[in-house]
Amino acid sequence: MQKEYSNVRTFTREDKHTIKRLWSEPRLRQCCEEVSAYQLSDSQRYFMQHIDRVTESNYIPSVQDISHITVNFNGIAEYLHHVDDLPLRIIDIRGLRTERRKWIHYFESIPVLVFILALSDYDQIEINDTNRIDLAKTLFKTYINNEWFRNCGILLLLNKKDILEENLGFPYCGLLP
């Protein structure tokens, strides 16, 4: 089923020219290369690098493009998917660190907890000068030691290895435990 989007706006020739001119500015490119200093998302750099393709009038997002789309929200989003005839309920919780007691019950009797950690966050800083990887490790330890998750499988997914290698300038060699 294809959705209709009434608020989609295509790039004009002028938009494309302006964006390309900005992207050719050495200082902007330097900022984008220093993602950790400016807290830029990986997707911003990706789409700027592919600006010619994504601004074409007949552009259709590739799987790679879709994987670079980020949605920032704080809250709880619940998705129901079916794999063959098996229902798959995904609960995505972002932010809300201070309100865990209010949402932890969502996980009562779940079969699997999937925790996703972005390797590219190795140099990103969060609140109170805390490294994002350190924060994620602390959060992961909290989850695996929580009574709500005692009887469920736990799957730790490490993603964004390609971005880590790009940022480091060499292949990932097990820099993180």
**Is 159 annotated as ligand-binding?**
yes
**Is 120 annotated as ligand-binding?**
no
Q: Buried b / exposed e across 13-49, counting CB within 10 Å, b at 16+?
A: eeebeebeeeeeeeeeeeebeebeeeebebeebbbbe
Bin 107: left if φ > 0, else alpha if -120 < ψ < 50, else beta.
Answer: alpha
DSSP string, 96-158: -GGGHHHHGGGGTT-SEEEEEEEGGGGG-B-GGG-BHHHHHHHHHHHHHTSGGGTTSEEEEEE
Question: What is the DSSP code (8-state) at residue 68?
Answer: T
**Is 131 annotated as ligand-binding?**
no
Contact between 92 and 77 (Cβ < 8 Å): yes
**Is 42 annotated as ligand-binding?**
yes
**Is 162 annotated as ligand-binding?**
yes
**Is 160 annotated as ligand-binding?**
yes
Q: Distance of alpha carbon 78 from its chain centroid, rounded?
A: 17
Annotated binding site for GTP: 42-43, 159-162
Annotated binding site: 42-43, 159-162
